[in-house]
Structure 1
Amino acid sequence: MVRLVISSDGPAAVGGWRAAFRAVAPHLQTCSWYDPAYRPGPDDYALVWHPSSADLARMGGLRGIICTGAGVNQLLGDPAFPHHVPLVRMGGAQTAALMADYVLWAVLGLLRDARTWAIQQDARIWRENHVSRTSAETRVGVMGMGHLGAHVAGHLRHAGFMVSGWRRSTQDVPGIRVFAGREALPEFLANVDILVNLLPSTPQTRGMIDHALLARLPRGAGLVNVGRGDHVVQDDLLRALDDGMLGGAVLDVTTPEPLPPDHPLWRHERVTLTPHVASWASQEAQARYVVEVIDQMEHNERPALLYEPARGY
C-alpha cells in the first residue's frame, strides 16, 4: 500500500501536514518520519525539506522523495543522499502563480523606483521622484525558461511588458522570443531593462551573474533574483550598484541565508531584500501537488519536475 512519510519542517509540523493531506486526499496513508515505530518500506514516499544525513541514509529503499522546495541542492550536496531514488521538486499551479505575482511586483517596483519611496517614508521626506516610463516601454528578460520561467514570462507579457527569455537549449514559448545558448546571451542581455533570474543552480550557472554579465545590460538596468543565491557574485552586484551600472535590485535569495547582520546588502539604498518567500504555496496546495506526483509515479508516468542528474536540476 502507498504510504507518505512526512519529514519536512521537523516533528512539530507533521500534524499540520497530515491535516492538509486529509483535506485533499483522505485515502492517502500518511505517517511521521519521527515516529519511533516507523520503518521505511519500498512503497513509501518521503516528503522532505532538509533532512539530516542520518535520515537521508535511511531513505535508500523508498519509492520516491518529494522536496517541498523548488531547489534541491541542500539534498544533493549531502553525500548521504540516495541518488538512485527518484527525486521530485515542488511545483503546482499555486507555486507558479505566486512566483509570477512576486516577479510582477518586483519588476513594477524597479520600474517606478519604489525603493526611493520607502526610504523617503522612513525619513519622513516628501520628495517627488517622477518616473514616466510605462510597462509597454520596458523590456524584461527572464533567464531560465523552464516550468516557472515560462509562466512568469507569460504573466509579465500579459501585464504589458516587452518580454524575452534565455535558456540553455532551444525551446519555443508562445508569444515570447527565446534566446538559446551561450552564444545568444550577449544579444539577449543588450535588450533587457530589467533582468529576472530563474535559472536552476548547476555548476554552469553558479556565479554566472557577475560583473562581466551585468556590464552587458544597458546602464541603469534592474535585477530581480528569484533563482538561487549562488547565481550572483554579491561583491560584483554591490560594485555594479555603487557605480550606477545597475539601477536597483530585488533579491529573494542570497548567500548565505539569512545574510549576516553587517552585510552591506541589508542597508544598500538600491536593494530590496525579501526572506526567500517568492513562491511558498499553502500546505494544502503543496499537498495537492504531492498527491498528483505520487499518482503519476504509481502509474509509471514521469513527473514534470523529476530531478535529472544529466541536467543538474
Structure 2
Amino acid sequence: MNVLSLLPFDDTQRAALMAGAPAATFVHASRTDVTDDQIARADVIVGNLAPSRLAAATNLKLLQLNSAGYDKYSGPGILPAGAQLASAVGAYGQAVSEHMLTMLLCLMKRLHTYRDDQRAHEWTDRGQVTTLAGARVLVLGCGDIGNHFARLCRAMGAEVHGVRRGLGAAPEGFTAVHTMDELDALLPEQDVVASFLPSSPSTKGLADAAFFAKMRAGAYFVNGGRGDLVIQEDIIAALESGHLAGAALDVTTPEPLPADHPLWDAPGAFVTPHVSGQFHLPVVLDNIAAIAAENIAHVAAGEPVRNAVAL
C-alpha cells in the first residue's frame, strides 16, 4: 500500500500515522509541491488534495480529508471510481469550541471594546456585562464540536439545549436535545444561540431576518459552522437595530470577507477569518493523524472506514 500525506505532521504525528500500516510505503509532500506521479501511485491520500487534481489518482482507494466538511468532494465524478471518502469529524471539537467560547466571552464582557479603547489610549468604563452562569444556551448541531462547546458552557453554569435531526439521549453537556421542528419555539427563550451545523440545502439561509427576530432581544449569536447558514444583510440589520447584543462569527459568506463589506463594522460583530478549525492548536493534527491511521488500517484489512461519506 502506498500512502501519500499532504499535511504538516511533525515526527511524532508521522509515527502515529505510519503505525496504521507499518508495512506501507509513506510519502510526505505538501499540497503545493505534490506531483501527479505521487498522486497516481497513492492508494490512500491524507489531506484535502485539490479536487481538480484527483483525476490523476488512478489507484486511489481512500481520500482521507483533513476537514470535517466535504462539500467540494461529494459531487458525482470528483473521486475516481471505487474510491472512498472519509472526513475528519472528531478532530476539531476542542479547537473550534474553545475559539468560539472565547469570542462569545469577549463579547459578553465587552473585551473587544476595551481593546479598541486601549489602542485609542482611552480610559473608558463600558458598563454592565453579562455571564454564562445561569444563561440559556441553544446549540445547533450536537456532533463533536457542538458537544465540546456544550460542555464548556455547562461548566460555566449555563443550561444547554441542543438541536439535531433526530431525538435520542442527550449527550454529555446537554440538558436536553430537540429536533429542528422545535427551533422556532426554542429561539425566544435563549440567551445564546450557537451554530455548528454543516452546509446543506436545509441549512443554507436558515439564519435569516425571521430567525433573528425570533431570538430574544439582547441575545448573542455564535457561528462556528458554515457561513452560508446566515443571510449577511439580515444579521447586520439585527445588530444595527440593537436586537442582537453581539455576534461571534468565525465563518462568513463570502470567504475571505471583502475589506469593504459592512459586516466588519456592524455594531457587536466579532469576526475571525475561519481560523478556529485550522491547525493552530497542535492537538488537531494529533487527532487527524490518529483518525487517518485508523482508516489506513481499515483499508489494508478491507474493512469499513471511520467517518465514511456517502457518495
Structure 1 length as normaliser, TM-score?
0.84
User: What is the distance in 1 between the residues matched to 2:304 and 2:185?
Assistant: 35
- Cα distance change of structure 1 residues 204 and 133 upon mapping to structure 2, 3 Å threshold: same
Q: CA offsets per residue over residues 76-116 of structure 1, 9 Å max, x none? A: 358534475321112445x2211221122122123212222
- Cα distance change of structure 1 residues 82 and 256 upon mapping to structure 2, 3 Å threshold: farther
Q: Is the CA contact (8 Å cut-off) linking 1:60 and 1:85 kept in structure 2?
A: no
Q: Is the CA contact (8 Å cut-off) linking 2:61 and 2:82 kept in structure 1?
A: no
User: What is the distance in 2 between the residues matched to 1:50 and 1:36?
Assistant: 11
User: What is the distance in 1 between the residues matched to 2:227 and 2:221?
Assistant: 13
Q: Is the CA contact (8 Å cut-off) linking 2:147 and 2:173 kept in structure 1?
A: no
Residue identity matched to 1:22: R
* SS of residue in 1 equivalent to 2:278: coil
Name which of 149, 152, 160 aligns with 2:149. 152
User: What is the distance in 2 between the residues matched to 1:56 and 1:38?
Assistant: 11
* SS of residue in 1 equivalent to 2:38: coil
Q: In the alignment, what sits opposite 1:12?
A: none
Q: CA offsets per residue over residues 154-193 of structure 1, 9 Å max, x none? A: 2221232221111121132235134433321112212211
Give the alignment of 1:189-208 within 5 angstroms.
Answer: 189-208=187-206
- Cα distance change of structure 1 residues 52 and 307 upon mapping to structure 2, 3 Å threshold: closer
- Cα distance change of structure 1 residues 240 and 88 upon mapping to structure 2, 3 Å threshold: same
* SS of residue in 2 equivalent to 1:110: helix
Q: In the alignment, what sits opposite 2:175?
A: 177
Q: In the alignment, what sits opposite 1:11?
A: none
Name which of 5, 15, 23 aligns with 2:15. 23
Give the drift of 1:58.
3.0
Give the alignment of 1:96-175 within 5 angstroms.
Answer: 96-131=93-128, 133-172=130-169, 173-175=171-173
- Cα distance change of structure 1 residues 84 and 256 upon mapping to structure 2, 3 Å threshold: farther
User: What is the distance in 2 between the residues matched to 1:169 and 1:49?
Assistant: 30
Q: CA offsets per residue over residues 196-232 of structure 1, 9 Å max, x none? A: 1100111111111111111111012111111011111
* SS of residue in 2 equivalent to 1:196: strand
Does residue 264 (structure 1) correspond to residue 262 (structure 2)? The answer is: yes
Q: In the alignment, what sits opposite 1:58?
A: 56
- Cα distance change of structure 1 residues 176 and 301 upon mapping to structure 2, 3 Å threshold: farther
User: What is the distance in 1 between the residues matched to 2:195 and 2:13?
Assistant: 32
Across the aligned residues of Structure 1 and Structure 2, the Cα RMSD in angstroms comes to 2.6
User: What is the distance in 2 between the residues matched to 1:87 and 1:131?
Assistant: 49
Residue identity matched to 2:190: V
Q: Is the CA contact (8 Å cut-off) linking 1:164 and 1:176 kept in structure 2?
A: yes
Name which of 291, 300, 305 aligns with 1:289. 291
Residue identity matched to 1:24: A
- Cα distance change of structure 1 residues 305 and 52 upon mapping to structure 2, 3 Å threshold: closer
Residue identity matched to 2:198: P
Q: In the alignment, what sits opposite 2:227?
A: 229
Gaps of 5+ in 2: none
Count of matched residue pairs: 298
* SS of residue in 1 equivalent to 2:118: helix
* SS of residue in 2 equivalent to 1:129: coil
Does residue 40 (structure 1) correspond to residue 40 (structure 2)? The answer is: yes
Q: Is the CA contact (8 Å cut-off) linking 1:45 and 1:64 kept in structure 2?
A: yes
Residue identity matched to 1:204: S
- Cα distance change of structure 1 residues 20 and 275 upon mapping to structure 2, 3 Å threshold: farther
Gaps of 5+ in 1: 9-15
Give the drift of 1:142.
0.7
Residue identity matched to 2:193: L
Percent identical across equivalent pairs?
A: 30
User: What is the distance in 2 between the residues matched to 1:127 and 1:267?
Assistant: 20
Residue identity matched to 1:30: F
Q: Is the CA contact (8 Å cut-off) linking 1:251 and 1:271 kept in structure 2?
A: yes
Q: CA offsets per residue over residues 35-55 of structure 1, 9 Å max, x none? A: 4543635x81112325142x1
Residue identity matched to 2:16: V
Structure 2 length as normaliser, TM-score?
0.85
Mean Cα deviation higher: 252-261 or 272-281? 272-281
